[in-house]
Amino acid sequence: KNVDASEIAAMEQGLIAEGMPESEIKRLCDVHVSVFQESLETQPAPRVPPGHPVYTFTLENRAVEEITLEIAQLLGKAGSLGEDEFFRQNKVKLEQLMARLSDIDLHYLRKENQLFPILEHYEITGPSQVMWALHDDIRDAIRTARGELAASKGHEAINTIRYVIKSIDDMVYKEENILFPMAMETLTEADWQKVAQGESEIGF
């Protein structure tokens, strides 16, 4: 009941150190979050000023949630229209929404290039290895969905898009309840200044 984000990260780190494959940690990642969800949700969110990297990451999460919610609401109409007719009416809209959603790559690139190396300096490698692999899964699924949309593979595209929005929403939860609180406990103010350096070169 009282476990915090750093302890979850330490447990995953310990499993990797004992020889459990990173792929297995990734597979169980949602299980870990579900087991500790009640405890995680009682912890206060990190309070950071505007301009702080965590503040910016969180703003981006609110923006991406608006897109995933819009997609989910749109897909909710598929049942009443029938999949083929829904796809015919909404293919262009889905293509536009998926193009917007693909900008999440910038968010992940900043995590990978700015935040993860500093966590690794503190020998915290487990969460970043697992999250990086999940980022790649999301990137691949977005590319697949956009390809299926372009090829008018309606059924496949709808299923892939559902996977994409769930995966992105799950990542938002993992960031805000595990990664960011743990990073706030670990990094110094000087570390956060290093994270912020070069952010604008990657983009937002």
Q: pLDDT per residue over 104-157, tens digit each?
A: 999 999 999 999 999 999 988 888 888 999 999 999 999 999 999 999 999 999
- Residue 39: per-residue pLDDT: 65
Using 50, 70 and 90 to split pLDDT, how confident is the model at 26?
A: confident
Using 50, 70 and 90 to split pLDDT, how confident is the model at 43?
A: confident
User: Is 16 in contact with 188 (CB distance < 8 Å)?
Assistant: no
| H/E stretch holding 72 | helix 53-75
What global pTM score does this model have?
0.87
| φ, ψ dihedrals at 17, nearest 5° | -60, -30
Q: Given a cut of 70, is residue 6 above it in pLDDT?
A: yes
Q: Given a cut of 80, is residue 191 above it in pLDDT?
A: yes
